[in-house]
Amino acid sequence: AFKDVPAYDLGATLIEHIIKETGFNPSEIDEVIIGNVLQAGQGQNPARIAAMKGGLPETVPAFTVNKVCGSGLKSIQLAYQSIVTGENDIVLAGGMENMSQSPMLVNNSRFGFKMGHQSMVDSMVYDGLTDVFNQYHMGITAENLVEQYGISREEQDTFAVNSQHKAVRAQQNGEFDSEIVPVSIFPQR
């Protein structure tokens, strides 16, 4: 459902919701820090785009953090540090992502090619799921951890099923109600 919605629009929806729910004046926000890994094709500084589309004035600075899977958490840590040190009083921080929006790339195409085939690179896999130092997919990392810690397939399946049951139960009990924000999707025609 969100394949055509840029990450910054998802972030903007949340920012707009937070401002409405908290009653903060948008100009009271000192800074916005948002983690976003797959930034290619979104434009400059997706956090800034989300902030402004979310209703914050252009006077509120924003920056995007890319620490791969830890991007959102690092954003929260940076916000905390800026508050504790007295640099800021109110900071919006978190993460946003839409892996479906990551573009295909044709590396080294800036100045054209000679005859022959060229390869496309999936930026989701290349920038988000491949260990740059070992040149293997994140799935291989999972396999390595399974071997290192002796985790059986049965244990993994049991954990996964239990996790799904807990998620359904929590949602049915309303435990996520304050964390789930409706997103409107307007078709572009």
* Spatial separation of the C-alpha atoms in residues 34 and 136, rounded to whole Å: 27
At residue 164, the pLDDT reads: 98
Q: Confidence band (pLDDT; 50, 70, 90) for 90?
A: very high
pLDDT in tens, 4-26: 999 999 999 999 999 999 999 99
**Could you give the angle at which helices 7-22 and 46-53 cross, rounded to 10 degrees?**
40
Question: Over the range 35-51, which residues count as b (16 or more CB within 10 Å of their CB) and which as e?
Answer: bbbbbeebeebbbbbbb
Whether the full predicted model's pTM is greater than 0.95, yes or no, is: no
**pLDDT tens, residue by residue, 122-146:** 999 999 999 989 899 999 999 999 9
Domains defined for the chain, CATH in brackets: 7-101 (3.40.47.10), 104-172 (no CATH)
pLDDT at 188 over 60: no
